[in-house]
Amino acid sequence: MSATPIDTRALVQQARGGRVIRTGFLEGTDLDRRALAADGVRFAAHGGFSDANRVIYTLYPEHIPNVDDPVRVLRLEADVSLDVDAEDVRVALALPAEVLGDIRADRNDFLLATTQKMAKQLEAMTELVLQGRTLPVRFVAAEGKLLERGIKTRSVVVPSLRLDVVGAKGFGVSRAYFQAGIEGKKVRVNGNIATSSTGVRAGDTLSAEGLGRIEFKRIEGETRRGNIKLELEIHK
């Protein structure tokens, strides 16, 4: 969690004025994501994992085609059993919240998302104190199924802004399948566990376990038949 509330509208105004603005890692409640869907401004979100809960936002003027990914994912390796959890690793690293994203257990190792600059510092580390033990460790570039394989921006047409409708269309699955994920508490909107009654609007972030993350960029308009055309950024 960020130490102070993020003035999202101030960031939008700066981007609208021609600047590229980048936050640190944020959680769903750290800023007003819906305020990001503003005229004249685009935004990108990177978290290293396809269903990341903590992400870095980059706001930029709409005439800029795209921005670079500021996140790297490292694998924390040790030659002995770590016997700790992700929160133990976060505490041991003692890094500011803005430079450290999600931490995920992966067998005996851990995968962690961080900034490009902090990644270089971590790669130089050779030991870490975990639960009172000083252990030799390695931080190396990570690869694997948990990581983002690609980000695509798509225009889709939906009959409504129901969560199950937008999520199913964005991920390319059936509404019944996505609804089952909602009922199983595997779907989040802006970092909060979603329910069947949760609505979505431009600026929202949808994350679904096993599927990835959708950034609801904007409503582009209506079709002649009254359906809604959306711009979605899909992370898989």
Q: Tens digit of pLDDT per residue, the chain (236 long)?
A: 445 668 999 999 999 999 999 999 998 778 888 888 888 999 999 999 988 889 999 999 989 988 999 999 999 998 888 888 999 999 999 999 999 999 999 888 999 999 999 999 999 999 999 888 899 999 999 987 678 777 888 999 999 999 999 999 999 999 999 999 999 999 999 888 998 888 899 989 999 998 999 999 999 999 999 999 999 999 88
71-141: CATH class: alpha beta
* Prediction pTM value: 0.81
E strands in 131-211: 133-141, 151-158, 187-189, 192-193, 205-208
Distance CA 172, CA 20 (A): 32
In this structure, which amino acid lies at residue 56?
I
Instruction: Write out the residue limits of the CATH 3.30.70.330 domain(s) in the chain.
Output: 71-141
Phi, psi of 49 (to 5 degrees): -110, 150
Distance CA 190, CA 98 (A): 17
